[in-house]
Chains A and B, each alone.
Chain A
Amino acid sequence: GAVVSQHPSWVICKSGTSVKIECRSLDFQATTMFWYRQFPKQSLMLMATSNEGSKATYEQGVEKDKFLINHASLTLSTLTVTSAHPEDSSFYICSADSGTEYQETQYFGPGTRLLVL
Chain B
Amino acid sequence: AQKITQTQPGMFVQEKEAVTLDCTYDTSDPSYGLFWYKQPSSGEMIFLIYQGSYDQQNATEGRYSLNFQKARKSANLVISASQLGDSAMYFCAMRELSSQGGSEKLVFGKGTKLTVNP
Contacts and interface: CB of A to CB of B under 8 A. Distances in A.
Contact of A44 (B50, B97, B101, B108): B108
Q: Which of A34, A103, A110, A113 has the most CB of B within 10 A?
A: A103
Contact of B105 (A46, A101, A104, A111): A46
B63 to A, nearest CB: 17
A73 interface: no
A102 B31 contact: yes
A49 B104 CA distance: 9
Contacts of B50: 103, 105
A108 interface: yes
Interface string B16-33: 000000000000000111
A109 B32 CA distance: 23
Given A100-B103, A103-B52, A110 B44 contact: yes
Contact of A102 (B47, B91, B96, B108): B96
A102 B33 contact: yes
A105 B97 CA distance: 13
